Chain A
Amino acid sequence: MVRVLGAVTVVALAAGLVAGLGLAPREATQGNVQRIMYLHVPSVWVAYLAFAVVFVASIAYLAKRAEAADQLAHASAEVGVLFTGLTIATGSIWGKPTWGTWWTWDARLTSVSILFVMYLGYLLLRGMIEDRERGARYAAVLGIVAAFNIPLVHFSVTWWRTLHQPPSLMKPGPGTMPPVIVATLLVNFVAFSLLYAYFVAKRVRLLRREAEATS
């Protein structure tokens, strides 16, 4: 099952790469650099997806006390932090040639980096508690607090300052992007989501084995 998922993921990622590097047209002003968008945007999407899963799984754990929910939250948080890091890294690489700087305290950069440290703290908390049951409970509480905090971080940071280009995909009204780019992005969205599912499935299985081995 997981193996099939892995194979499908590889195919989807390859398709995304071909579409991103071959099919999609060269951007007029930014040139080939713009192609990193096909990694950057799906990474953010997966990061948010992962943290949403952490939130739901945390509530489920506190309600039902099923260890599976806790393992899902743990795995999802790890993968989410990974993809948040990937977002920041690809964003930096994209920002250097286009904005002229690796990093700037722009609204969205800041809010993503706050997410990054928030969930790093979450993983740190998990790592520091030996008692598995208590660790699961505390982490679930933190997962809920952190999720509620996401919109607050978003608004406060947006009011604080903004420089990032406005989102070009989800805004109302007719899209400004040619369909080829949208299609390429969608392929990569699917590929990255599959990759997320694959990572989480692997990690959950590993966590379950660990739990079996220590109990």
Chain B
Amino acid sequence: MRKNILFVCALLFISKIAHSKEVDNGQYIEVGALEASLTFGYGGIENPIHGAEDIVSFVLPHLAYYGENWYFDDFSLGYSVSQNRSFYFDVVGTFNEDGFFFELDGIDKLFAINGLRDLNRPGRPPVIPDYLTPIERSISYQAGFAFGYANRGVGIELTTLHDISSVHNGSENKLVVYYANTLFGGQFLGEAGATHKSNELIEYYYRIRPSESVSRIVNSSLGGSAINYHLKLEYRYPINEHFSFMLRISNTWIDKDLSNTPMFGADQYLSGFSGITFEF
């Protein structure tokens, strides 16, 4: 998948088409307008879990609505306690991404993301001895606060979230810095971020239970929290009122202490999507 995304990335930039249509930088969204789109193309998530298949999709839906205070943006839900043109302080909720590596059966139907996914669970041995249980983890939903500042294409956002679905009772803190601007007649976004995951979250998702492995080594604790880093690039080039080219690519570097554990087969993972977006 990595090759495919990089290929499309290169293709789009090599074949960039000059045009003079004015576009905004995508940093803002109109209040009261429903933003709904379907992107047809190719993309997904490299699954860093040992032995797990990548998650691949050919369709990427998007739905967002920002009212005066309430908003939803795909899986995220929020209410702005305080905001102006640049600052905001929100009460928010969103899914934790770690759960998606293990369990996509519910969500993938909504997001049509299971096109080529292997039916085996991550980490499950090819032949399961009677005393072993398959590795199963649930998706968790988190809620907390988001504080952000945005001005002239530059933005910073700090989010602190806690599990409210009683899946792991852990927390996650995310810091994102981004730059949005117009480029070659399209919208460009560059984003860098760090995500701190609490010990409870790490233990739940990535510690292999005694019943899940024949090895006794994996029974030990993972030893604390973890910080993942990511870089994300996004480019959207409008073709006309309803159609646009879209390329989104993100790479996440997993905390070394975490990626060195038996659950992981890689120390980083790529995700992204490229295709043609139809906006309703």
Answer yes or no: are A and B bound together in one complex.
Answer: no
